[in-house]
């Protein structure tokens, strides 16, 4: 991915208004700033700026998954009917988000809303002995879900990008160790992108997956979930499983818990041996006995996470990206007012930054200062460098930090040594 881009070459343009039928704040801002394009309710195209954010999120997640011995692959989105019938999850009464179609050669096919069944079935080709375990695999995959509630922008869509990981272990003890490793890796992901303090490991129902699960819920008013938290005791419970038994297990009273709105950014499920028993995934133990594999599933919604970051950090002027996932680190803005010296200096600075591999969006457009500043506020790049007659005369560049709105002045040598 290129580190630099001239804004005059960017085919997208900012907009003053979002589509009238778009009600979510994250999608409104992302559409106006040129990160996404709305195709229909719950379905969005990701444009050059949006792709840069997604790829940075993926890189962070990829590093953490590789750090716990994950191996990356990518599976097909097409799903075999007979495979899901084995686990009784082809039935629309049990799973109500399927997109399905008919094959020209006959029979039905599904479009992947999840991948537990296909990955477990695939592993029958690679697992036969206790020596083959453990195996941890993950993918970044476009999921398709026939959602009725597609009113939260990219936080809940009919099509979205997910990182899903699957663990295959010898037994409960080995599984529990990896489950905790995955939990810690998820915490590191959320810390790195700036939402760790407001993201809680939350006890929840498993839905179409298992009886219970752990969700990673981030506090935001735009969230569709309600959880109850106690920061001091580091306890969080989804409203749907909050009852006397749960409170007793967690050794907490409801009075000690605070009700907050949240968005789910990740989840982990323990399938035990049940899924593998259904699909015939077994291995021979050290005594030659056939034993079912212990399986877990671990998801992070990449595009949903992008939407949550918008909801948490955007201000009245536009997007405010955390440094770790911003499409560019610097937004260089030239205000030449027809002054060739200023234009020449801005071009020279841009080329110097480019040579050093710095990450720069360069606003070289022939536009008014007000328009450039408004667009920069909307696009939300963390650091803004202003080149003008004033800076040329002073020998320093103006550096504005988007998150604080504070301006300072910086020498070129200091800027280029960043």
What are the pLDDT digits (tens) for 16-54? 999 898 999 999 999 999 999 999 989 999 999 999 999
pLDDT for position 372 = 97
Instruction: Classify domain 11-313 at the CATH superfamily level.
Output: Bira Bifunctional Protein; Domain 2 (3.30.930.10)
pLDDT for position 207 = 52
Domain covering 328-416 assigned CATH 3.40.50.800 in the classification: yes
Give the list of residues 6+ apart from residue 142 with CB closer than 8 angstroms, or none: 77, 159, 160, 161, 162
- Rounded Cα gap, residues 54 and 14, in angstroms: 19
- Rounded Cα gap, residues 99 and 101, in angstroms: 7
What are the pLDDT digits (tens) for 137-187? 999 999 999 988 777 899 999 999 999 999 999 999 999 999 999 999 999
CB of 270 within 8 A of CB of 179?
yes
pLDDT for position 386 = 97
- Ranges of residues in the chain with a pLDDT under 70 are 206-211
- Rounded Cα gap, residues 262 and 275, in angstroms: 30
Per-domain residue ranges of the chain: 11-313, 328-416
Q: Encode burial over 65-81: b for 16+ CB neighbours within 10 A, e otherwise.
A: beebebeeeeeebebbe
Helix axes 172-192 and 48-67, enclosed angle (nearest 10) = 140
CA 96 to chain centre: 24
pLDDT for position 208 = 43
CB of 162 within 8 A of CB of 300?
yes
CB of 42 within 8 A of CB of 73?
no
pLDDT for position 149 = 75
- Per DSSP, which regions of 273-390 are E strands? 282-284, 290-292, 294-301, 330-335, 360-363, 383-388
């Amino acid at each position: 991915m290129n580190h630099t881009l001239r804004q005059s070459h960017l085919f997208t343009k900012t907009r003053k208004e979002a589509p009238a039928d778009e009600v979510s704040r994250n999608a409104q801002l992302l559409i106006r700033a040129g990160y996404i394009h709305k195709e229909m309710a719950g379905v969005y195209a990701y444009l050059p700026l949006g792709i840069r954010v997604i790829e940075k999120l993926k890189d962070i997640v990829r590093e953490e998954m590789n750090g716990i011995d994950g191996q990356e692959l990518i599976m097909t989105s097409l799903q075999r009917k007979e495979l899901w019938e084995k686990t009784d999850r082809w039935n629309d009464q049990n799973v109500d988000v399927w997109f399905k179609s008919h094959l020209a050669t006959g029979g039905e096919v599904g479009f992947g809303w999840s991948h537990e069944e296909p990955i477990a079935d695939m592993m029958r080709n690679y697992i036969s002995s206790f020596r083959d375990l453990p195996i941890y695999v993950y993918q970044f995959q476009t999921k398709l879900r026939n959602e009725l509630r597609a009113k939260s922008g990219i936080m809940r869509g009919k099509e979205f990008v997910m990182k899903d990981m699957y663990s295959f272990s010898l037994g409960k003890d080995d599984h529990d160790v990896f489950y905790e490793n995955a939990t810690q890796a998820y915490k590191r992901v959320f810390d790195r992108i700036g939402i760790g303090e407001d993201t809680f490991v939350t006890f929840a129902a498993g839905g179409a997956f298992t009886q219970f699960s752990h969700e990673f819920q981030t506090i935001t008013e735009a969230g569709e979930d309600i959880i109850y938290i106690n920061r001091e005791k580091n306890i969080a419970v989804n409203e749907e499983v909050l009852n006397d038994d749960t409170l007793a297990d967690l050794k907490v009273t409801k009075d000690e818990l605070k009700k907050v709105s949240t968005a789910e950014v990740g989840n982990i499920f323990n399938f035990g041996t049940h899924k593998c028993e259904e699909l015939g995934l077994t291995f021979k133990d050290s005594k030659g006995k056939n034993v079912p594999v212990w399986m877990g599933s671990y998801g992070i919604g990449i595009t949903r996470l992008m939407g949550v970051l918008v909801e948490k950090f955007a201000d009245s002027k536009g997007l405010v990206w955390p440094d770790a996932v911003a499409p560019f680190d610097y937004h260089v803005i030239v205000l030449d007012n027809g002054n060739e010296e200023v234009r020449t200096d801005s071009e020279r600075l841009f080329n110097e930054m480019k040579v050093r591999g710095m990450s720069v969006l360069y606003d070289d457009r022939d536009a008014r200062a007000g328009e450039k500043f408004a667009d920069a506020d909307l696009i939300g790049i963390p650091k803004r460098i202003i080149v003008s007659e004033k800076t040329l005369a002073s020998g320093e560049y103006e550096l504005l930090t988007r998150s604080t709105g504070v301006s300072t002045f910086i020498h070129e040598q200091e800027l280029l040594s960043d």
